[in-house]
Structure 1
């Protein structure tokens, strides 16, 4: 706990009580769902009160802490320009890397064109 917290006497009394596993989750009884006796917020407060008292939360019947689900990565729903930006930048960088060779080829083509356009006869 990051901050000092004051727990009510009611909550601290709940730490002393032994709970059944079904008290912490919803149950399907006679075709209807019954909510748990303690909401998730109350369960979290009870777990914190157990830490405060130095009692193991599982010893009073609380279920173990469930680890968080791994993140589900989805495709970014941005504009098309945002989605294709990395490919465009890679293409531009590749063109810049090849630029000296491209310029040399262009100069050679211009010289060849100039020579070709020159007449064969000297006059």
Structure 2
């Protein structure tokens, strides 16, 4: 048993009429009172267009036959990789920097010892008393 869709007489009458593309798309209209052009919303709102499309399908009428625009395909959601934690993002770079520092550690310790020895020699008084 197929379920039938109940609709109001106004909705049924709206499906029976023919429409032009002007009814379904936003327009730029010149308003003499304002002295400029303004954006005007479509004469038939997107919600009413969707209702009309559903009613057409329920009655077996082709929606484009009454002037409804084609249904737009939904875009797939963007695939964005998860951001993750900062320590996870910088871990490889940090490990490489630590490995490089460990390779140069002997030279670093040697230069540090020389600098400390020179600093001690400079701070040491020339006279013994």
Q: TM-score range by the shorter chain?
A: 0.5 to 0.7
Aligned to 2:18: 18
d(CA) in 2 for partners of 1:77 and 1:24?
Answer: 41
Aligned positions of 1:52-67 closer than 5 A? 52-67=58-73
- Structure 2 unaligned segments of length 5 or more: list them: 31-36, 93-129
Aligned to 1:37: 43
Normalised to the residue count of structure 1, the TM-score between the two structures is: 0.58
SS in 2 for 1:67: coil
Q: RMSD value over aligned CA atoms?
A: 2.4
SS in 2 for 1:55: coil
Q: Structure 2 vs 1, CA of residues 10 and 78 (structure 1 numbering), >3 Å: closer, same or farther? A: farther
**Which aligned runs of 4 or more in structure 1 are off by greater than 6 angstroms?**
none
Task: Judging by fraction of residues, say which structure has more helix.
Answer: 1
Q: Which has the larger radius of gyration?
A: 2
- Structure 1 unaligned segments of length 5 or more: list them: 89-123
Q: Structure 2 vs 1, CA of residues 58 and 75 (structure 1 numbering), >3 Å: closer, same or farther? A: same
Q: Structure 2 vs 1, CA of residues 6 and 75 (structure 1 numbering), >3 Å: closer, same or farther? A: same
d(CA) in 2 for partners of 1:77 and 1:6?
Answer: 49
Q: CA deviation at 1:73?
A: 2.0
